[in-house]
Structure 1
Amino acid sequence: MHVFVTGATGFIGAAVAADLLAAGHSVTGLARSAEKAKALAETGAEVLMGNVNDLDLLARTCGKIDAVAHLAFNHDFTRFKENCEDDRKVIHAMGQTLVGTGKPMVVTSGIPAAPGRASVETDSHPGSDVMPRAASEEAAHEALAAGANMGIIRLPQVHDTAHFGLITFFAQVARQKGFVGYAGDGSNLWPATHVSDAARVYRLALERAAPGAVYHAAAEAGVPAIEVSEALAKGMGLPVRALDDAEVEGYFGPLTHFSRFNILASSDWTREVLGWQPTGPGLLEDLRRIEDFA
């Protein structure tokens, strides 16, 4: 299978490309710079120079491949809603090209909260007017309704010893502030998975190619924020303390909304249908061995 991977030079996208190549598939990866293109080519992938917002380029490329893994996303949280709407346009452009072809495409989203219980794969996000990231799922559902073979992979905090999803940005704040802070009593939960396990979900989903399937790539159902903060502080050599409500926004800035995430995630169905068994280290283990923020 020849797979087009957007975000192929990013943290998770690079792992997805590597996993696909190791499984015997071929990969065309999107790259924006000569430096990143060189690194991608050295893995054995074909390189497509361009930008994820070049919708004509994306559509043309979808006509030449067998499957698509869409991971590219702009993580500038000062314009989060705009970035989510840009992603809607990207998914629409590729999805419309794939209508009627049967070629599978998986898009990336986040795991929704389900107050009082674990979130499962059949749970829906609130609309994008409430949760901007839902724009990606809305675009995927629109393409599915038009006849494209679309799937959705919902990611938790994806990590190794240098990257930790949103926690990476919290670490940057902690370095600036001189301490690791967390909102309230720190009992809110963060599902997580190692990057190698997340990458395998993308490959297995594309190989299964089930239209309309939604997968939760959560190896750990929920890690308490206080434990995440303590492990991060230990890894960075910083103090840690709770923030009261009046301090949270001043500390986290545009990340304030994310700091209060409280999600317990089930991946039971994903494990069953894909035969997915996570094997990577846990989030706290990787945080204690942190590389880039000490």
Structure 2
Amino acid sequence: MKVFVTGASGWVGSAVVDELLRAGHAVTGLVRTDKKAEAVYAAGAQVVRGTLDDLDTLRTAAASADAVVHTAFNHEAFNGDFSKFAEAAEQDRRAIETLGAALEGSQRPLLVTSGLAGMARGASESEAPRPGFPRQSEQAANAARERGARVATVRLAPSVHGIGDYGFVPMLIRAARRHGVSAYIGAGENCWSGVHRRDAARVYRLALEHGATQTAYHAVADEAVPFKAIAETIGRRLGLPVQSREREHFEWFAHMAGGDMAVSSRRTREVLGWAPMGAGLLADIDQPAYYAG
């Protein structure tokens, strides 16, 4: 297949590009800068320069592809606070709407990336997230499907981990260093799911190769890791105390640190024949390289 990938140089997107290329697919990646373009070229993919605001570019690239994988999101919205998150979510919604419109009436699949916020604990792929979270990726995917596009959502675990990770676990590590304590909220019994970056990329590839027959897939290997266990691993590695703290300790990140984001991936494993092969979340973040920065 000829696959167009947005966010092709990102943490998840670059792994998806590598996975698709190794499987023999032709890939064109959307990138914003010359430096990112060089990395995508070096991986063996073609490049389209642009951003999620370049809707004509998205439309043209999607129309000439056999499939589209949308992993891009303005992650600057996660830096410091969530003040820019609504703006990033609207940009994402418009991009999905544009990509879906380019594929309407065809059987060419579009995979849209989302997360587990708003999902009930232990939820299956057939269940929908509770309303209220500002990211609209899944709602936009559903709207495109209703208009006649073949669209599926890949719901990523909150920790897509691996060496080089710059997501939520590194945020927790930096916070622990700054405060001198690795903290959790309450009893720390809320759980996160986790998936190794390479295992997540295989979900995307397999979903495309199976025709994106499901409305949602869960890229989840460790289904329920207690947040306290994550804090304990970080504290042990940094030589810091591990303590329960009030939500205010985590500031804008409190809704994530206290969130229950733990779901089942049984259906995804069954329909795709997907079996995670990478290290588990706790084993991965127990490596010295996670703390080298």
Q: Is 2:28 the counterpart of 1:28?
A: yes
Distance 2:56 2:176 in 1: 40
Instruction: Give the letter aligned to residue 116 of structure 2.
Output: I
CA contact (8 A) 1:112 1:263 kept: yes
Q: 1:171 deviation in Å?
A: 2.2
CA contact (8 A) 2:170 2:290 kept: no
CA contact (8 A) 1:99 1:149 kept: yes
Q: 1:113 deviation in Å?
A: 5.0
Q: 1:176 deviation in Å?
A: 2.5
Question: TM-score w.r.t. structure 1 length?
Answer: 0.92
Task: Name the SS of the counterpart of 1:42 in structure 2.
Answer: helix
Equivalent pairs counted in the alignment come to 286
Task: Report what 1:87 is aligned to.
Answer: 92
Distance 1:238 1:73 in 2: 33
Instruction: Give the letter aligned to residue 106 of structure 2.
Output: T
**Residues 259 and 273 from structure 1, CA distance in 2 versus in 1: closer, same or farther, beyond 3 angstroms?**
same
1:221-240 matches, within 5 Å, as 221-240=223-242
Instruction: Give the letter aligned to residue 124 of structure 2.
Output: V
Task: Report what 1:187 is aligned to.
Answer: 189
Distance 1:236 1:69 in 2: 37
Distance 2:164 2:252 in 1: 22
CA contact (8 A) 1:182 1:243 kept: yes
Distance 2:280 2:46 in 1: 32
Task: Report what 1:275 is aligned to.
Answer: 273
Task: Report what 2:105 is aligned to.
Answer: 100
Task: Report what 2:285 is aligned to.
Answer: 287
Listed as ranges, the gaps of 5+ residues in structure 1 are none
CA RMSD of aligned residues (A): 1.6
Task: Report what 2:221 is aligned to.
Answer: 219
Q: 1:101 deviation in Å?
A: 2.0
Q: 1:220 deviation in Å?
A: 0.8
Distance 2:266 2:7 in 1: 27
2:130 to 123, 126, 129: 126
CA contact (8 A) 1:151 1:210 kept: yes
Instruction: Give the letter aligned to residue 41 of structure 1.
Output: Y
The percentage of counterpart residues that share the same residue type is 43
Q: Is 2:137 the counterpart of 1:136?
A: yes
Distance 2:256 2:215 in 1: 26
Q: 1:48 deviation in Å?
A: 1.2
Task: Report what 2:163 is aligned to.
Answer: 161
CA contact (8 A) 2:118 2:133 kept: no
Distance 1:91 1:269 in 2: 25
Listed as ranges, the gaps of 5+ residues in structure 2 are none
Question: TM-score w.r.t. structure 2 length?
Answer: 0.92
Task: Report what 2:64 is aligned to.
Answer: 64
CA contact (8 A) 1:112 1:123 kept: no
Distance 1:48 1:173 in 2: 36
Task: Name the SS of the counterpart of 1:51 in structure 2.
Answer: coil
Q: 1:51 deviation in Å?
A: 1.2
**Residues 32 and 114 from structure 1, CA distance in 2 versus in 1: closer, same or farther, beyond 3 angstroms?**
closer
Task: Name the SS of the counterpart of 1:97 in structure 2.
Answer: helix
1:235-250 matches, within 5 Å, as 235-244=237-246, 248-249=247-248
Task: Report what 2:150 is aligned to.
Answer: 149
Q: 1:173 deviation in Å?
A: 2.2
Q: 1:17 deviation in Å?
A: 0.4
Distance 1:34 1:235 in 2: 37
Q: 1:18 deviation in Å?
A: 0.2
CA contact (8 A) 2:119 2:128 kept: no
Task: Name the SS of the counterpart of 2:4 in structure 1.
Answer: strand
Task: Report what 1:44 is aligned to.
Answer: 44
Task: Report what 2:203 is aligned to.
Answer: 201
Q: 1:30 deviation in Å?
A: 1.2
- 1:195-229 deviation per Cα after TM superposition (whole angstroms, max 9, x unaligned): 11000000001111235521011111110001101
Distance 1:90 1:113 in 2: 22
Instruction: Give the letter aligned to residue 277 of structure 2.
Output: T
Instruction: Give the letter aligned to residue 224 of structure 1.
Output: P
Distance 2:164 2:240 in 1: 17
Instruction: Give the letter aligned to residue 5 of structure 1.
Output: V
**Worse overlay, 266-275 or 29-38:** 29-38
